Amino acid sequence: MGFRGPFTRWLIGSANFLVVMNTAVQGDVIAIASDHAGFSLKVILREDIERKGFRALDLGTDSLDPADYPKIAESLALTVASGKARFGVVLCGTGIGVSIAANRHLGIRAALCHNVETVRLGRRHNDANVLALGARVIDEVTARACLQEFLVTEFEKAERHSRRVAMLDKAVNGTLL
Ligand code: RB5
């Protein structure tokens, strides 16, 4: 167990408390971002977010010009982790790059999903607060269904799930064991 000062422990405890909240409700801000590979699908999903009564906070990219996914994911992760958005949706070609990048940020639980079932379990068991999608590996209908499921599915809040989710932000550089 690595050393943590009282302030660091308080900060992590507060972050864990803040992220244990309910599913998105209408009016909530949902951040969305993509690199160039996810740009076209992002536009479609952004419209879906707004059509469902949420506020979409589009963090770019704004064209098909090449954009570096680590920067895109960082912008989205900071927005969700700071509470400026309730949830995030992030896209690249495979979804892999953006999910790896987003998950490096404390408080972020990005689930890379390819179907509605993984989205449902990512919300119910992992309290995923970011949905990562691969625009080159899933079709539009599936992506839209994944978004819908992500926005309406609640965290199960069973003790075992809460305990495991709380461990995630403590598992930095081998400090969990
Ligand atoms: C871009 O060509 C592609 O590498 C990127 O969108 C993503 O799939 C990376 O994980």
Q: Which residue matches tokens 């599936």?
A: 142
Are the beta carbons of 129 and 123 closer than 8 angstroms? no
What digits encode the pLDDT tens for the residues 8-46? 444 444 444 344 345 899 889 999 999 999 999 999 999
**pTM assigned to the model:** 0.87
* Cross-strand bridge partners of residue 58: 32
Paired sense of beta strands 130-134 and 87-92, if any:
parallel
Residue 26 Cα to ligand 1 middle (Å): 31
Cα pseudo-dihedral 152, 23, 80, 127, rounded to 10:
-90
Closest CA to 130 of 39, 34, 30, 7: 30
Minimum CA distance residue for ligand 1 atom 5: 93
Residue 13 Cα to ligand 1 middle (Å): 34
Minimum CA distance residue for ligand 1 atom 3: 93
Pocket test for ligand 1, best of 98, 99, 104, 133 (most atoms within 8 A of CB): 98
What digits encode the pLDDT tens for the residues 105-124? 999 999 999 999 999 999 99
Domains annotated on the chain, with CATH: 26-165 (3.40.1400.10)
Alpha carbon separation from 32 to 126, 169, 172, 177 (Å, rounded):
20, 23, 26, 34
For residue 67, what are its two tokens? 């954009």
pLDDT for residue 7: 52
pLDDT for residue 46: 98
Taking CB atoms and a 6 Å cutoff, what residues make up the pocket around ligand 1? Answer: 35, 37, 69, 92-94, 96-97
Are the beta carbons of 85 and 96 closer than 8 angstroms? no
pLDDT for residue 5: 55
* Catalytic residue status for 105: no
CA separation for the pair 132, 176 (Å, rounded): 25
